[in-house]
Amino acid sequence: MKIVLAQQNYHIGNFEWNTQKMIDAIEKAKSENVDLIVFSELCVCAYPPRDFLEFSDFIHRCHQAVEEIKKHTSDIGIIIGCPSINPEVKGKDLFNSAYLLYENEIQDIVHKTLLPTYDVFDEYRYFEPSNTWHVVTFKGKKIALTICEDIWNVGNNPLYRICPMDELMQYHPDVMINISASPFDYTHVEDRKAIIKANIAKYKIPLIYCNTVGSQTEIVFDGGSMVFDKYQNLIAEANYFVEDTITVHLQEDGTFTESILKHAALIPDQELNPITYQSELNIDQIYQALVMGIKDYFQKMGFTKAILGSSGGIDSAVTLALACAALGNENVTAILMPSQYSSSHSVTDAEQLSLHLHNPKHTIAIEPIFNTFMQQLKPIFQDLPFSLAEENIQARSRGNVLMAIANKFGMILLNTTNKSECATGYGTLYGDMAGGIAVLGDVYKMQVYALANYINRNEEIIPKNIITKAPSAELRPNQKDSDSLPEYAILDAILYQYIERRQGPNEIIAQGFDKALVDRILKLVNNSEYKRNQFCPIIRVSSKAFGVGRRVPIVAKYLG
């Protein structure tokens, strides 16, 4: 049986676009005498559709898309993901389903059993879990057809009481097919291979795994669709972070003859050590995820041009380099906005960076704007000393300048805040926290340095001085980040334990960190929740990013 896995990049709610893309792949497969083509989870509407699922109209359009695709099934089997309506009165209205289409009919529908409801996932909000199981038969083959999370319990996943593949094995399937929308994080690629192998080790049949690719606002799907034979041999693996197809021949004995021998360009080979903070792990994957995150955000929002404030610091430099890679150098405008507190190297470093990147740049001094604000505020501020208020006026004047140019020329402002700043609230709301999407909001400062070195791996794109100088917000004379924050190596290590690993203060202190420092940092994190609540979406590359996947109360007094 000749099978194609279509790893495609969909757009949420853009039915016409998604359907056409699938039909193109189907027609191509038909011309190559493919028996079965497999698409990914909820491909008709793209994942995650979130509360659009509460609209009957949206579900209706999903089903119209299925009707459209069905017209192309005269001589090919098609597996697609689509919500289906729960016919029972009780339980949620919808199932998260996989459809087998063939010979102009919906041949079979199966429903997802394990509904991820953690981190960025809200599936129990919308879907009823399946509580019956059967295999899908196609051309004499019995397929254990499952959806994403369904293969993530081989009996020892403590989140779930049911193991769907155990249920399906009583029908003696020949092959497992799993359609997924499984997002990237820099620990996840290895996890995914491990769980696939664990399934084959337990059930002793081949597994065909088709994942989606592309970025949906904050969530990056890396693809990595793959096929393993029943001996746990990796037969084929799609490229990561791009649309791709895999073609395989499933033999009677559960092995494959490949049509096209294919291995992914990117196969990670590092193990995550969950205890220590990882600054350089899989930095190439993080780079690719961020570039795709920017590219897809712009493409799916219908924009081409970006703008950002180029301060001469490392965060804006790395953001600029990533944006140029994603959008083309000519489409990323850097604005230099020195003030009376800016050091001379800030401007020269930022200029040098844009010379290397060949991207448009402008310089706008904010001192006259700041002075006018101060003059108008004088009757209220009187002779009160310079304080955070004055620092914030500068940051917000820059935000206003950037947004004004963005509005005037139809650009989108890229935010340059890193995860360490985002965690500690070291930033000004409506100032340097402004932007349409935060490129580095899930990248700790030490990882930003690793990214800078990765960007410079072949040639000096980011001027060395930007990498080596001490970080500073330059909002008052001789300011350094280290005036307010501990050294980033220590800060990041503590943040990693608190954010990614959900360790409490006692557990972190037990690892050898200073109690006063831990208490201070956790307090900074918890007391800046109100700022993050108004922050733009952050491209997610870790297992726990700020934003939709981390939901913390604002009016709270816990470790704060």
- Counting contacts by CB under 8 A, is residue 535 touching its own copies? yes
- Counting contacts by CB under 8 A, is residue 70 touching its own copies? no
- Counting contacts by CB under 8 A, is residue 21 touching its own copies? no
Rounded Cα distance between 303 and 442, Å, is 23
Note if 230 is an active site residue: no
Contacts of 462 (CB under 8 A, 6+ apart): 314, 317, 318, 321, 353, 356, 452, 455, 456
- Counting contacts by CB under 8 A, is residue 358 touching its own copies? no
For its own copies, which is the closer residue by CB, 381 or 454?
381
For its own copies, which is the closer residue by CB, 55 or 171?
55
Q: CA dist 365 to 348, 354, 355, 370, 471, Å?
A: 14, 18, 20, 10, 21
Q: CA dist 414 to 116, 218, 333, 398, 466, Å?
A: 31, 13, 10, 13, 19
> Cβ of residue 496: shortest distance to its own copies, in angstroms?
15
> Cβ of residue 511: shortest distance to its own copies, in angstroms?
14
For its own copies, which is the closer residue by CB, 143 or 508?
508
- The single residue among 170, 251, 387, 511 that binds its own copies, judged by CB under 8 A, is 387
- Counting contacts by CB under 8 A, is residue 291 touching its own copies? no
- Phi and psi, residue 264, nearest 5°: -65, 145
Rounded Cα distance between 452 and 445, Å, is 11
Tell me the H-state helices in 328-411: 344-357, 367-381, 388-409
Considering only residues 293 through 332, tell me which ones interact with its own copies, judged by CB under 8 A: 296-297, 300-301
- Counting contacts by CB under 8 A, is residue 551 touching its own copies? yes
- The single residue among 2, 12, 190, 280 that binds its own copies, judged by CB under 8 A, is 12
Q: CA dist 391 to 83, 106, 355, 471, 474, Å?
A: 50, 62, 29, 16, 9
- Counting contacts by CB under 8 A, is residue 132 touching its own copies? no
Considering only residues 465 through 524, tell me which ones interact with its own copies, judged by CB under 8 A: 502, 504-507
Report the DSSP beta bridge partners of residue 147. 179
Rounded Cα distance between 104 and 471, Å, is 62
- Counting contacts by CB under 8 A, is residue 537 touching its own copies? yes
Q: Of the residues 43, 45, 148, 536, which is catalytic? A: 148
DSSP per-residue letters across 130-145: P----PEEETTEEEEE
- The single residue among 6, 323, 429, 439 that binds its own copies, judged by CB under 8 A, is 429
Instruction: Residue 4: name the closest of 16, 338, 28 by CA.
Output: 28
Q: How crowded is residue 85: how many other Cβ atoms within 10 Å of its Cβ?
A: 12
Query: HSE (CB half, 13 Å, CA atoms) of 318?
Result: 28
For its own copies, which is the closer residue by CB, 297 or 449?
297
For its own copies, which is the closer residue by CB, 345 or 362?
362
Considering only residues 221 through 280, tell me which ones interact with its own copies, judged by CB under 8 A: none
> Cβ of residue 239: shortest distance to its own copies, in angstroms?
22
> Cβ of residue 375: shortest distance to its own copies, in angstroms?
7
For its own copies, which is the closer residue by CB, 300 or 419?
300
**Rg of the Cα atoms in the chain:** 26
- Counting contacts by CB under 8 A, is residue 404 touching its own copies? yes
- The single residue among 33, 87, 161, 261 that binds its own copies, judged by CB under 8 A, is 161
Helix or strand (DSSP H, E) at 85: strand 77-85
Contacts of 346 (CB under 8 A, 6+ apart): 311, 312, 313, 336, 338, 474
For its own copies, which is the closer residue by CB, 262 or 531?
531
- The single residue among 90, 132, 269, 458 that binds its own copies, judged by CB under 8 A, is 90
> Cβ of residue 410: shortest distance to its own copies, in angstroms?
10
> Cβ of residue 462: shortest distance to its own copies, in angstroms?
25
Stretch of 12-20, 181-189, 268-276, 464-472 contacting its own copies, by CB under 8 A: 12-20
- The single residue among 436, 441, 463, 486 that binds its own copies, judged by CB under 8 A, is 436
Note if 148 is an active site residue: yes
Contact 100, 51 (CB under 8 A): no
Locate tokens 């102009």: which residue? Answer: 104
For its own copies, which is the closer residue by CB, 55 or 231?
55
For its own copies, which is the closer residue by CB, 167 or 390?
390
Rounded Cα distance between 190 and 476, Å, is 45
- Counting contacts by CB under 8 A, is residue 453 touching its own copies? no
- The single residue among 199, 311, 352, 392 that binds its own copies, judged by CB under 8 A, is 392
- Counting contacts by CB under 8 A, is residue 154 touching its own copies? no
Considering only residues 168 through 227, tell me which ones interact with its own copies, judged by CB under 8 A: 215-217
Stretch of 22-30, 254-262, 429-437, 446-454 contacting its own copies, by CB under 8 A: 429-437
Rounded Cα distance between 411 and 308, Å, is 10
Residues in the chain: 560
Rounded Cα distance between 38 and 25, Å, is 10
For its own copies, which is the closer residue by CB, 93 or 514?
93
- The single residue among 3, 48, 316, 357 that binds its own copies, judged by CB under 8 A, is 48
Rounded Cα distance between 475 and 68, Å, is 58
- Counting contacts by CB under 8 A, is residue 347 touching its own copies? no
Report the DSSP beta bridge partners of residue 214. 221
- Counting contacts by CB under 8 A, is residue 383 touching its own copies? no
Instruction: Residue 26: name the closest of 10, 40, 9, 6 by CA.
Output: 6
- Counting contacts by CB under 8 A, is residue 113 touching its own copies? no
Contacts of 521 (CB under 8 A, 6+ apart): 424, 486, 491, 494, 495, 498
Rounded Cα distance between 560 and 420, Å, is 17
Stretch of 244-252, 253-261, 357-365, 468-476 contacting its own copies, by CB under 8 A: 357-365
- Counting contacts by CB under 8 A, is residue 64 touching its own copies? no
Q: Of the residues 21, 45, 62, 112, which is catalytic? A: 112
# of chain residues touching its own copies (CB under 8 A): 97
Note if 68 is an active site residue: no
- Counting contacts by CB under 8 A, is residue 125 touching its own copies? yes
Q: Which residues are catalytic?
A: 41, 112, 148
